[in-house]
Amino acid sequence: MATSRTNSEAVVQVDLEATVRRSSRNVLTPTRFQYSPEIATAINKKRTATTTTTHNDKKRQNSRKDVENSAVECTSGGHAGLSSYELERLENIRQNQAFLSSINLFQATEELKQVTRPKPSKRRLIRSQTAIEKGVTVRKSLRLQSLTLPPKPGERQLYRLDSTEDRKIELDLKEYCSALKNMTKTENRVAKVLKKRLVTAAFHPCTSSLLMATGNTLGNVALWKLDSDWGNDGVLRFEPHALAVACIAFSRAHPTHLLSLSRDGSLRCMDVQKAVFDDVYDSEEQLRTFDFLSHDCTSLVVGHFNGKVAIVDRRTPGNSHESIHSLKYTHSLLCVSVHPLQKQYFAVAENKIVNIYDSRYLKKKKKSKTVSRLHGYSLSIHSAYFSPRTGNRVLTSCNDGYIRIYDTSAVTKKAPLLTSIKHKMQTASYKIKVSAVWDPKREDCFVVGSTPKPHSVKVFHESGKLLHSFVDRDNVTSELYVTALHPTRNALLGGNGSGQLHVFSD
């Protein structure tokens, strides 16, 4: 399969390198681990020049390979014959690997193996039972044999909760609000992880420690482990991209994998344990977003800024896509979200509308048809997310100043609107958009940054009720517009325009 870029063009030239792992896909040479203003200035100057593959470049690459080979040899023997540069590089690699080992991601992998997939909701079970009673033959996807399809349009049913279930929900919310109130911030829970504005951030799903990843407008990626004694601030910094990191996520199937997508057209996967970047996908067009299209996280749907979506399979050699498709209504795409259970469905924020598509019926030459549409917008939508446990809701954020929640428990041509909440979705600069995101531990609560002073992060119930506000008048002096909640622990992160991450936890 032809690749859209050569491997030499994808490599970021840096001063200090880590061990490079060879794989069937193109590999991106990892950048330095220790941040230095002098090195950063030199790298920024290099970015302004156009790089081409020359005979000298190949010589330098061969020389780099020789250094790597000598580094491997010296791990089991002496250091005789190595230059001062090679000795310094070996020491950096040793320090970096010691820190990464301290993160205990292998332990996190074992923890996640104990976590089962979300159980189907009662609505879904009732719907399935109804189909069985009527004798309806349930079709199964060839790719996802374990999943059942939702009812056809027009078969949507309404289910009412009895008083006992209502009471349980009320008590559950009280416990949830109590847990939110116990989440506080101390001096050691704030760090300047990167220079310039943060764009995206995510928690690692492990429970033994709080490990976070974030990306900024310069294409930098940072890993921060809370309460770490490594270095001065416990932060590892990388430069795998040339432009802003628009989307970042840890793989739940492979917890040591961190995927980052940039507007420079590159999608990378970092092996956090080994400090290696793989070149997953490259495009000549700007990329905007991605999500995992399979439970094992090997298949992805990647959103192009020009409105196209690419299907990428990481098991296929090369760094190109399996297929690329034009959507029905969009000229620009800002967000894509895959259904948590029925992975063939994904929602897309397209201009002034949100559409749901079925990946099995995407067209290559013609514009693809929608499965469902979410109406009611007057301005562009910059985010749309399926609820994390069942996918029975879609949470959207729009420039018209409203957060909306739609009922997607059944796939209908027009998904009904459940809740509309007035909320300022722009910061003081008017270039940064605030997006509401679900709490991954729940089906009915979400978090969003609040721009009016005092700056805070608010937690809402799907009904529109404000449950809690996280406020730190002394330390939070700017909008925390990048937000995320931990998948299993009571922890929240907020990122701002100066490269700071703030953490509230119990």
Statement to judge: residues 299 and 414 lie in one domain: yes
Residue 299, strand partner residues: 313
* Amino acid identity, position 131: A
505 pairs with which residues across the strands?
A: 184, 491
DSSP state string for 155-208: --------HHHHHHHHHHHHHHHHHHHT-B--GGGEEE-SSS-EEEEEE-S-SS
State residue 158's pLDDT score: 32
Say if 248 falls within a structural domain: yes
Structure confidence at residue 150 (pLDDT): 36
Q: Is residue 347 domain-resident? A: yes
pLDDT top residue among 234 and 9? 234
Q: Do 284 and 330 fall within a single domain?
A: yes
The CATH number assigned to the domain holding 349 equals 2.130.10.10
Residue-level pLDDT at 54:
38
Q: Do 288 and 391 fall within a single domain? A: yes
Higher pLDDT, 463 or 116: 463
Q: What are the φ and ψ backbone dihedral angles of 82, each rounded to 5 degrees?
A: -90, 145
Do 491 and 441 lie in one domain? The reply is yes
Domain of residue 140, residue span = 122-163
Q: Is the pLDDT of residue 480 over 80?
A: yes
Range in 180-189, 230-239, 362-371, 455-464 the model is least confident about: 230-239
**Is residue 53 in some structural domain?**
no
**Which 8-state DSSP code applies to residue 360?**
G
Looking at the fold, whether 264 and 308 belong to one and the same domain comes out as yes
391 and 468 together in one domain: yes
Domain count, the chain: 2
CA distance 506 to 503: 10
The residue to which tokens 């931990």 are assigned: 486
- Are residue 252 and residue 151 in the same domain, yes or no? no
Q: Are residues 142 and 280 in the same domain?
A: no
Is there a single domain that holds both residue 126 and residue 212? no
Examine residue 317 and say whether the peptide bond preceding it is cis (omega within 30 degrees of 0): no
Q: What is the mean pLDDT of residues 165-186?
A: 84
CA pair distance 370, 342, nearest whole angstrom: 16
Q: Is there a domain that residue 30 lies in?
A: no
- Is the domain of 157 the same as that of 215? no
- The residue from 102, 134, 163 where one domain ends is 163
Give helix then strand counts, H and E, for the chain.
7, 29
By C-alpha distance, which of 378, 96, 434 is closest to 237? 96
The 10s digit of each residue's pLDDT in 419-441 is 999 998 776 665 678 899 999 99
